[in-house]
């Protein structure tokens, strides 16, 4: 896992700055994440973590530069970044409640492929075959992301909370992110679900995905990340491997000390 640190960054942000009127929510924030690496972003409430995600994915007006897989995407609009491999799962679970788990996943894959009306009208058999293929791909994508087959035909609201979290991550990942940004994936999870989340993150890393994780759950962050960026009042006060960050006096004072 340490060997990937010299790899070219999958995602790099440089000098990000976001202001909401007089409030500077993010100031001169720079970090990068490589394929096969998990970067954690931590900091107290209001430190600027979500704003940092919004700035990286162009959901907010900002200064700075963003490079995705070697290409400058600073001016690329948010909705185009997903197609380039940068995907993001939000804090709240997001799915269609009136579609089954499998149908939710299939809808995302279908959307990615761009369902063609012309194909549906003129080649109905091909369209039916496509639909069957999409369902098979959806089942595979769900299993890969830790949503077992026994839940595929249930409605999301009927499944345990841990399954709903995994489903949200699976839907964000779609057919496969190169960089996946997760916002508090462990929120509300108990012990067994937490262990499954750790296993999932580790297996995605092993497959070469770059992951960025905002998380308040310190045990998870310290055990699963390769490097951590610490924000406080919009500024980066530390960055480095978990064992270094854990001992950093500025971090202890600004964050860990306060929460201990
Ligand atoms: N749209 C907005 N308009 C005005 N201020 C905002 C806006 N979004 C965030 N802020 C402010 O920017 C600062 C950073 O907020 P942000 O949500 O990024 O912090 P955070 O570290 O994600 O916090 P939390 O851990 O509580 O989710 C806060 O002071 C917040 O009130």
CA of 122 to the centre of ligand 1 (A): 50
**Residues with beta carbon inside 6 Å of ligand 1?**
20, 23, 25, 43, 45-51
* CA distance to 28, 61, 80, 82, per residue, from 77 (Å): 21, 11, 6, 10
- Domain spans in the chain, listed from the N-terminal domain onward: 1-85+177-260, 97-175
Domain 1-85+177-260: CATH superfamily, name plus number: P-loop containing nucleotide triphosphate hydrolases (3.40.50.300)
Q: What is the average per-residue pLDDT within 69-74?
A: 96
Confidence tier at 92 by pLDDT (50, 70, 90): confident
Assess contact for 146 and 168: CB atoms under 8 A: no
Q: How far apart are CA 213 and CA 201, in angstroms?
A: 10
By alpha-carbon position, which residue is closest to atom 6 of ligand 1?
Answer: 20
Q: Output the CA torsion sign for 165, 171, 174, 179.
A: negative
ipTM of this predicted complex? 0.96
Confidence of residue 191 (pLDDT cuts 50, 70, 90): confident
- Note the pLDDT tens digit of each residue in 211-231: 999 998 888 999 999 999 999
Could you report the per-residue pLDDT of 117-170, keeping only the tens digit for each?
555 555 556 567 778 889 999 999 999 999 999 999 999 999 999 999 999 999
> Could you give the C-alpha distances from 119 to 115, 123, 190, 195, 259, in angstroms and in order?
8, 5, 46, 44, 57
DSSP 8-state assignment for residue 10: S
């Amino acid at each position: 896992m340490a060997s990937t640190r010299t790899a070219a960054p999958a995602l790099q942000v440089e000098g990000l700055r976001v202001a909401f009127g007089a409030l500077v929510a993010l100031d001169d924030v720079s970090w990068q994440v490589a394929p096969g690496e998990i970067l954690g972003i931590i900091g107290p409430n209001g430190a600027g973590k979500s704003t940092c995600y919004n700035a990286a994915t162009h959901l907010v007006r900002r200064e700075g530069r963003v490079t995705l897989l070697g290409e400058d995407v600073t001016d690329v609009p948010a909705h185009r970044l997903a197609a380039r491999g940068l995907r993001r799962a939000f804090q709240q679970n997001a799915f269609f409640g009136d579609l089954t788990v499998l149908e939710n996943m299939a809808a995302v894959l279908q959307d990615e492929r761009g369902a063609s009306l012309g194909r549906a009208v003129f080649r109905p058999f091909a369209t039916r075959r496509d639909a069957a293929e999409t369902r098979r791909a959806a089942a595979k994508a769900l299993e890969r992301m830790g949503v077992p087959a026994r839940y595929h035909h249930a409605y999301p609201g009927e499944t345990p909370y841990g399954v709903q979290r995994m489903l949200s991550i699976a839907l964000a990942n779609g057919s496969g992110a190169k960089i996946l940004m997760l916002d508090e994936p462990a929120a509300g999870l108990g012990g067994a679900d937490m262990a499954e989340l750790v296993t999932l993150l580790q297996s995605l890393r092993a497959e070469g995905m770059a992951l960025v994780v905002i998380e308040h759950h310190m045990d998870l962050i310290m055990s699963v990340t390769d490097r951590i960026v610490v924000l406080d009042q919009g500024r980066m006060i530390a960055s480095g491997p978990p064992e270094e960050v854990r001992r950093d006096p500025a971090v202890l004072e600004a964050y860990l000390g306060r929460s201990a």
